[in-house]
Amino acid sequence: MNERVTTVADLRKDGITARFSAWLSQERIFRWIPFVMVEGMIICVLIIPFILTIYISFLRWRANRPFEQAYLDGFRNYEAVLSDPGFWLSLGRTFYFAGSAVILELIIGFILAMLVHRIVAGRRIYITIFLIPMMVVPVVAGYNFSMIYLDSGPLNELLWPLTSLLGINPRIRWLSNPLAAQWAIILADIWQWTSLTFLIFLSGFSALPPQLINAARIMGASRAQVFLWVELPLLKPAIVIAIVIRSMEALKMFDPIILLTYGGPGTSTQTIAYYLWEQVWQFNKFAYGAAASILVLILFSVLIFVGIYLLGRQSEAVERGEV
Amino acid sequence: MVLSPDTASPIQSKRQAMRKSRRRTIVRHTILILWGLLIMFPIYWMVQTSFKDSGEWVTWPPNWVPHSPTLQNYGQIFTFDITKEGVARQATEQPFNIWGALGDSVLICTLSALIALFMGTFLAYAISRFNVGGSKFRHSVLIIRMIPPIVIAIPLLMYYAIMVPLAAETVLGTRISLFDTRVGMSLLYITITLPFVIWMMLTFIEEVPYSLEHAARIMGAGRMYTLRRVVLPLVASGMVVTFLFVFILNWAEFLLALTLTHPDVTTLPVLLNKFQSASEGRLYGPQAAIGTIITIPVIVLGMIIQKHLIKGFSFGTIRK
C-alpha cells in the first residue's frame, strides 16, 4: 500500500520520467532492454570492427602511409595470403599442435579422473592440486617452462643420469631444435590444460548412476565389461564436451609460443595466431593481416559451427535423459 | 574333509581380494602422487627462483633450493622510491616496477568484470524469464568465446587506432583514441566475457522459482524492485562465483592486452612478457617474483570457487 502511494506521488511530481519508467516496465519493452544493451555492446565492439576489417582487406595500404591514401585493390591481398606457404604451414602446425596436445590431454585427464573417482582417501587434496595448473596464468606457465627448458635448467639436470649413460652432452638445447621445440610447447600445453579435461571427466564420473553399475556387477559383468559397456557410453557427453572445448582453445595457441620460442627456431613453432601477430605487429602488413584474419575467421566459423552443434546435441540429450 | 575347503576358500578368496584391492589402491595413489609432483614442479621452481640471488638464477648444476634466500627480487619489483634519485632510477629501470601494471590490471579487470556481471545477469534473467532471443541464443552467444582472440585483435587495432579517432575528429572535432587506453581494454574485456557471464548466470537464475517474483509483482512491486530485492539476493552467491571467474579470465588475458596497448597501459602478463623479450640478459629473479605475485591471488580465488567450477564445467552433464 505504502509503495502505491509513493508511486502516485512520483507521478504527480515528475510526470515524464514516471511515465517513461512505466513504459519501460511493460513486458514487451522490458524484456528487450538487456538484450539491446548486450547486443549494442557486441555490435559496437566486435561487429563494426569486423566490417571495417573486411573493407581494409580489399585495400592496398602500407603502414608507413596514412590511411587516407589507401585505395581499393580487389582480391590481391587474399591472393597473396593464399599463395604464401607460411600461412599454410602455420595452419598445418596449428592443427598438429592442437591435435597432439588434445589427444594426450584427453587420455591423461581420463585416466586421472578414473583413478581419483575410485579412491576415497585424500580425494579432495588430489582434486585441489590437479586443478592448480588451469588457474596459473598462461603467461606465467610459459615463463615457468622457459626456466625449466633452460640449457642448464632442472630438466637437463633430471635427465643427467640418462644423458651421461648415452654419452650425450647433458646440456640439451630444448628450444633450439625444431622438433624438440615443438614438443616443448605441446608439453607445456599438456601440463596446463590436462587439469581442464580432468575436471570435465571427473564431473562426468561423479554423475554416473551407481545403481546401474552395481546392477551390472551383480549380474556378473567383469570390471572391464562394466567400464566398456556401461560407464563409457554414459561418459560420452563428457568426452564430446572435453574434445570440443579443448580443441577450440588449443587451436588459438599463442601465449606459450611467444613466451618460449618466438615462433623459432626458424618458423618451426609458428601457429596461425603467431603468424597473424607477426604479419601485423612485426611486419606492419595491415591489409594483408586483415585479409588473412578474415580467411582464418571463415575457417574457424566452420569449426565453431560444428563445435556448437555437437555441444548443443549433447546437452539436449542429457536434458531428455537419453544418455 | 569335504567341508573344510568350502569354508576355507571364501575367507581365503576374500583375504586375497582385499590384498588385491589394497595393492590397487597403492598403485592408484602412486600414480596420482607422481602426477601431483609433476604438476607442482614448475610452480615450485618459479617460487624458489623468486627467492634466489642473481648469481643463483642460472647455474650448472641448478640449485634445487636457494642457498641464500633473499627478498631482493620482491624489493626490486615493489620499489616505491619517491626521492629524487629513486624517481630517476625508476625511469631508467622502468620494467622493474610492478605498481603501474598492478594498478592497471586490478582496475581494468575489476571494472570490466563488474560491468559484464551486471549486464550479463540482466540478460540471463531476460532469457530465462521471457525467452528473449529464442532458444538457440544461449548457444550462439558462446560463438564469441570460440573466435580466436588474434582474429579479434586485428580488427580492433584498426578500429581503435584508426576509425575511432577519425570518427571522433569529424564528429567532435577532437582526436580520441581507444588504442592503449584503460577504457578501450575494459570495453573489450566486457564484450568477450559477457558470454561466460550469461552462460553461468543462466544456470543460477533458472534455479530461482518464478512464483516468488510473481508474488512480488502481484503485491505491487515494480520490475526493477522485484529484480533487485527478490531475484538478486537469491543468486548473490552465483554472482560472486561468476565475478571471480570472469576476473580470473581477464587477469590472465594476454594476447589482446599485448596487441592493443603499448606504452601507456600495461597489464601484468604484458609486463612479465616484457622481461622475456629483453635482449640484455634475462632477469629471471624479478620475473619469477612477478610470476608469483600474479599467480597466487588467482590460485586462492580459484580454490574458493573450485566446487562451483566443477559444476560449471560439467556443461549440463551433471543431472540435478
Question: What's phi and psi for B285, nearest 5 deg?
Answer: -65, -60
pLDDT of residue B36: 92
Task: Report phi then psi at B184, rounded to 5.
Answer: -60, -45
Distance CA A284, CA A46 (A): 22
Is B157 touching A (CB cutoff 8 A)? Answer: yes
Q: Give the range among A272-276, B86-90, B144-148, B194-198 with minimum mean pLDDT.
A: B86-90
- In order of A28, B29, B133, B230, the CA distances from A32 in angstroms are 7, 54, 9, 20
* Chain A touched by B296 (CB under 8 Å): no
| Closest Cβ opposite residue B276 in set A38, A143, A238 | A143
Instruction: Give the range among B80-94, B97-111, B181-195, B211-225 with minimum mean pLDDT.
Output: B80-94
Residue A180: what pLDDT? 86
> Distance between CA atoms of A33 and B160, rounded to whole angstroms?
27
Inter-chain touch A144–B46, beta carbons under 8 Å:
yes
Domain residue ranges of chain B, discontinuous segments joined by +: 18-78, 98-313
Give the lowest-confidence range in A160-169, B4-13, B240-249: B4-13
Higher pLDDT, residue A276 or B217: A276
What interface predicted TM-score (ipTM) does this complex get? 0.82
Model pTM above 0.90:
no
- The answer to whether residue A291 is domain-embedded is yes
CA-based nearest distance A41→chain B, Å? 7
* pLDDT band at A64; cut points 50, 70, 90: low
> Chain A within 8 Å of B158 (Cβ-Cβ)?
yes
Report H helices in A209-285: 210-218, 223-225, 232-234, 236-250, 255-260, 272-277
- Give the integer Cα–Cα distance in Å for A194 and A189: 8
Specify the pLDDT at position B83.
58
Judge whether B120 and A38 are in contact, CB under 8 Å.
yes
Q: Of B91-95, B161-165, B306-310, which gets the smallest average pLDDT?
A: B91-95
Determine whether the interchain pair B272/A262 forms a contact, defined as Cβ–Cβ distance below 8 Å: no
| Span A112-166, pLDDT tens digits | 999 998 888 888 888 888 988 988 889 999 988 888 888 777 888 888 888 778 8
Chain B interface mutation, best of A11, A23, A45, A105, highest count of B Cβ atoms under 10 Å: A45
* Angstroms from A202 CA to nearest CA on chain B: 8
- pLDDT band at residue A169, thresholds of 50, 70 and 90? confident
Cβ count within 10 A of residue A302: 9
**Interface probe with A: pick from B315, B318, B320, most Cβ of A within 10 Å:** B315
Region B292-316: what's the mean pLDDT? 75
Mark yes or no for CB contact B255/A277 under 8 Å: yes
pLDDT number for residue A3 = 46
Q: How far is B175 from chain A (nearest CA, A)?
A: 15
Q: Is the pLDDT of residue A47 over 70?
A: yes
- How far A36 CA sits from the closest chain B CA (Å)? 9
- Asked whether residue A23 is domain-assigned, the answer is no
Name which of A159-163, A303-307, B77-81 the model is least confident about: B77-81
Q: How far apart are CA A99 and CA A84, in angstroms?
A: 23
A94 — pLDDT class (breaks 50, 70, 90) = very high
pLDDT at A109: 93
CA distance B204 to chain A (A): 16
Residue A100 CA: distances (Å) to CA of A86, A94, A108: 21, 10, 12
Residue A95 pLDDT > 90, yes or no?
yes
CA distance B171 to chain A (A): 17
Distance, in Å, from the CA atom of A92 to the CA atom of A167, rounded to the nearest integer, reads 35
What CATH code is carried by the domain that includes residue A284?
Answer: 1.10.3720.10
Higher pLDDT, A181 or B91: A181
pLDDT for A57: 87
Q: How confident is the model at residue A1 (pLDDT cuts 50, 70, 90)?
A: very low
Kindly tell me if the per-residue pLDDT of B307 is higher than 80.
Answer: no
Q: What is the pLDDT of residue B64?
A: 78
Q: How far is A97 from chain B (nearest CA, A)?
A: 15
Q: How confident is the model over A287-300, as pLDDT tens digits?
A: 888 899 999 989 98
Q: Which helix (H) or strand (E) holds A99?
A: helix A85-118
Terminal-residue alpha carbon distance, chain B: 56
> Which of 66-95 (B) contact A at CB < 8 A?
none
Pick the CATH number of B98-313 from 1.20.140.150, 1.20.140.70, 1.10.3720.10, 3.30.70.141: 1.10.3720.10
What grid cell was written down for A288? Answer: 594483408
Reading the block at residue A277, the C-alpha cell is: 601477430
Alpha carbons A49 and A81: distance in angstroms, whole number: 20
Contact A52 B159 (CB under 8 A): yes
Residue corresponding to grid cell 601477430:
A277
Question: What pLDDT, on a 0 to 100 scale, did the predictor assign at position A320?
Answer: 64
Rounded (10°) angle between helices B268-276 and B99-130: 130
Question: CB B40 to CB A129 under 8 A?
Answer: yes
CA nearest B271 in A: which residue?
A139
Between positions 206 and 235 of B, the ones with CB within 8 A of A are: 220-224
Dihedral, A176, A179, A184, A185 alpha carbons, nearest 10: 100
Q: Are B164 and B176 in contact (CB under 8 A)?
A: yes
**Are the C-beta atoms of residues B88 and B304 closer than 8 Å to each other?**
no
Q: Looking at the predicted structure, is the pLDDT value of residue B80 above 70?
A: no
**Mean pLDDT to the nearest integer, B95-124:** 87
Which residue did the predictor score with more confidence, B262 or B320?
Answer: B262
Position A89 in a domain: yes
Do the chains contact at A152 and B272, CB–CB below 8 Å? no
Nearest to B139 among A136, A141, A312 (CB): A312
Nearest to A311 among B125, B130, B315 (CB): B315
What number is the average pLDDT over the span B308-320?
Answer: 54
pLDDT of residue A63: 65
Q: How far is A140 from chain B (nearest CA, A)?
A: 5
- State which residue of chain A sits closest to B319, comparing Cα positions: A207
pLDDT tier for residue A81 given thresholds of 50, 70 and 90: confident
B273 and A297 within 8 Å at the Cβ level: the answer is no
Which pLDDT tens digit goes with each residue over B118-159?
Answer: 999 988 888 888 877 766 676 677 777 778 888 888 888 888
Output the pLDDT for position B95.
52
Asked if B312 contacts B245 with a C-beta cutoff of 8 angstroms, the reply is yes
- Nearest-Cα distance to chain B for A1, in Å, is 8
Measured between beta carbons, which residues in chain A are less than 8 angstroms from residue B294?
137, 139-140
Q: Which of residues 182 through 201 in chain B touch A, CB cutoff 8 A?
A: 187-188, 190-191, 194, 198
Q: How confident is the model at residue B6 (pLDDT cuts 50, 70, 90)?
A: very low
- Per the structure, the count of domains in chain A is 1
* pLDDT (tens digit per residue) in A196-244: 899 888 888 887 888 888 888 888 888 888 888 888 888 888 888 888 8
Q: At residue A173, does pLDDT exceed 50? A: yes
B320 shares contact with chain A (CB less than 8 Å): no
Reported confidence tier of residue B69, pLDDT bands at 50, 70, 90: confident
Residue A114 belongs to domain spanning: 85-320
- Contact across the interface for A238 and B273, Cβ inside 8 Å: no
> pLDDT-based confidence at B93, cuts 50/70/90?
low
Q: Is residue A198 in a domain?
A: yes
Cβ <8 Å between B194 and A141? no
Q: Which residues of B touch A109 (CB under 8 A)?
A: none
| B30 close to A (CB below 8 A) | no
Q: How confident is the model at residue B267 (pLDDT cuts 50, 70, 90)?
A: confident
Q: Considering Cα of A56, then A61, then A67, then A70, what sign does the dihedral take? A: negative
**Strand (E) or helix (H) holding A72:** strand A71-72
Residue A117 lies in a domain: yes
Q: Give the Cα separation of A238 and A241 in Å (integer).
A: 5
Say which of A131, A251, A273 has its CB closest to residue B306: A131
Q: Which of B:233-292 have CB within 8 Å of A?
A: 248, 251-252, 254-255, 258-259, 268-269, 272-273, 276-277, 284, 287-288, 291
- Residue A9 within a domain: no
Please indicate whether residue A24 or residue B280 has the higher confidence score (pLDDT). A24
| Positive or negative torsion for Cα B272, B251, A308, A131 | positive
What is the C-alpha separation between A258 and B150, in angstroms, rounded? 13
Report helix angle A123-130 to B3-50, nearest 10.
Answer: 40
Residues B151 and B104 sit within 8 Å (Cβ to Cβ): no
In a domain, A266, yes or no: yes
| B50 contacts B291 by C-beta, under 8 angstroms | yes
Amino acid at A277: W
Q: Taking CB atoms and an 8 Å cut-off, how many pairs form between chains A and B?
A: 292
Mean pLDDT, chain B, as a whole number? Answer: 80
Cell of B98: 610492478
- Report how far residue A190's alpha carbon sits from residue A288's, in angstroms, rounded to the nearest whole number: 33
Using a pLDDT cut of 70, give the percent of chain A over it: 91
Residues of B in contact with A41 (CB under 8 A): 119, 187, 190-191, 194
Q: Does residue A63 sit within a domain? A: no
